[in-house]
Amino acid sequence: MMRWSIRIARLMFALLAALLFVWTPTTAQAAVSKVDFEITSYRIDAFVELDGSMSVQEVLAYEGSFNGQFWNLEYAAGGEKSNTTTNLEDLEGNAIIYNAHDIQDMKVYALLDPSGTLGADNLLEYSFIWSGTGNPGDSGVYEQRMDDASVALKIFSPTQNQQKVLLITYRLENVAVLHRDVAEVFWNFIGSKWEEPLHNVEINIHLPKASEELKVFAHGPLYGTSEIVDQQQVRLSIEKITPGEMLDGRVVFSKEVLDSSEKRTDMEALPEILRIEQLKANKANDMRRNFLLLKYLIAGLSLLGLVGSIVGVFHIYNKYIKEKKTEFRGKYYRELPSDYGPAVMSYNYHQKLNTPKDLTASILDMIRKRIFRIDMEKVEKKSILGEANRVKNTRSQISAKICKDL
């Protein structure tokens, strides 16, 4: 019984330890053999040009060990391109009018001093090589594949337990859309195909001129921020983007900021844009509330489970393991202080219950103590064949008498 109790206690303590481990926040990460790195920061600066094109600089800071980086950009979803639309539903943001028409001037650099600036004297330009010609161990080169919809880079840059900063630059043609009342840029800056978490993400969108009308909207994880820095710059920032998440931004500004743009509509777009963005904001706020409720519910259930486990462990300990204290406060005797009969013993052993066996045992005990005596009488009977002495133990012939000599 004691061994069984100890096993139960050990099991309960193990369950409690497991619950504490799950309930306690942890920042443990799984390391990958020979490739163990982290993208510690990701900064994008997008410069809108007077003709509606956009020059982009992407700065990725790494820490750890890796062989290189795959980088992909879908600049024209589906490969389709358009210069105009008459459908208000296209302002949702998924229409082909928001696709760029081309991508040019693709270049890759590494910073000689990772903690330095992006000045020309601190940049090492990587060389372009044809797709499929790079080999593991190559350094300072990149492969490039491009089609009408996307571009993919394979950057060779072996790094061992150190910091490295890569700079990718390119120019997107015909990004901005000019409406009758306002102009806008709607762009997916962070795609969903990243396989590593991105930390400290910051996206700055710069206008070529100051804008009286300026609004910014971000779509992605619920815990990011968007802000207007000044009349020529807006910023999107988020601490972390996990694989599978994406982040796009929409900047609405005065149409006078652009000198020209190949992509035009004849629509009063601002009211519809504001309506669409308000719906998206309401949906995001609902998701935030639901997320907080779920978070509090999980925390409450975890705390309840923790308390329940602790109570359960103490209950099992007190019931099966802890030495029980007797309620008896009388004088201690090594031997019983009196000659108690079996009925008293049975009464205590069976938790204050008596059985018919107790009566039989008590009678036998009283006979043993010579309180009762059983006498058997001889009965003489005559038979045809003669007389015989018999002792017949019938109930009528057995008598019990109280012993008077005790």
22 in a domain, yes or no?
A: no
Q: What is the structure's pLDDT at 23?
A: 39
In this structure, are 119 and 192 located in the same domain?
yes
Which tens digit of pLDDT belongs to each residue from 144-166? 999 999 999 999 999 999 999 99
Whether 174 maps to a domain, the answer reads yes
Q: Given this model, what pLDDT does residue 14 score?
A: 52
Rg (CA), the chain: 45
Choose the final residue of a domain: 234, 250, 280. Answer: 280
Instruction: Check residues 392 and 141 and name the one with the higher pLDDT.
Output: 141
Same domain? For 382 and 240 the reply is: no
Return the amino acid letter for 348: N
My answer on whether 348 and 208 are in the same domain is no
Question: Is residue 120's pLDDT more than 60?
Answer: yes
CA atoms of 296 and 302, how far apart (whole Å): 10
Instruction: Using alpha carbons, select from 399, 378, 377, 375 the residue that is nearest to residue 389.
Output: 378
Angle ∠(204,239,194) on CA atoms, nearest 5: 80
* pLDDT per residue as tens digits for the range 218-257: 999 988 999 999 999 999 999 999 999 999 999 999 999 9
Angle between helices 356-368 and 342-349 (to 10 degrees): 150
CATH of residue 258's domain is: 2.60.40
How large a percentage of the chain has pLDDT more than 90? 57
The residue out of 280, 297, 314 marking a domain boundary is: 280
d(CA 151, CA 273): 30
Does 193 fall in a domain?
Answer: yes
Domain that holds residue 71: 37-280
Per the CB < 8 A criterion, the answer to whether 77 and 163 are in contact is no
- The number of folded domains in the chain is 2
The lowest-confidence range among 25-39, 56-70, 114-128 is: 25-39
Is 48 a domain residue?
Answer: yes
Note whether residue 235 is domain-resident.
Answer: yes
Could you tell me which of 253, 260, 261 has the C-alpha nearest to residue 207?
253
Measure the CA–CA gap between 222 and 286, rounded to whole angstroms. 10
Residue 209, pLDDT score:
97
Q: Do 363 and 253 lie in a common domain?
A: no
pTM: 0.68
When pLDDT is cut at 50, 70 and 90, the band that residue 379 belongs to is low
What does pLDDT average to over the chain? 83
According to DSSP, the residues that pair with 298 across neighbouring strands are none
- Cα separation, 205 vs 376, whole angstroms: 121
In a domain, 160, yes or no: yes
Reply yes or no on whether the pLDDT at 315 is more than 90.
no
- The predicted structure's pLDDT at residue 182: 98
pLDDT per residue over 59-109, tens digit each?
999 999 999 999 999 999 888 999 999 999 999 988 999 999 999 999 999
Residues 102 and 240 in one domain: yes
> Is 359 found in the same domain as 259?
no
How far apart are alpha carbons 125 and 295 in whole angstroms?
Answer: 47
Q: Extract long-range pairs of 289-293: CB within 8 Å, 24+ residues apart.
A: 291/222
* pLDDT surpassing 70 at residue 402: no
Residue at which a domain ends, from 263, 280, 297: 280
Q: Which residue has the higher pLDDT, 206 or 403?
A: 206
Q: Within a domain: residue 167?
A: yes
pLDDT band at residue 287 under the 50/70/90 scheme = confident
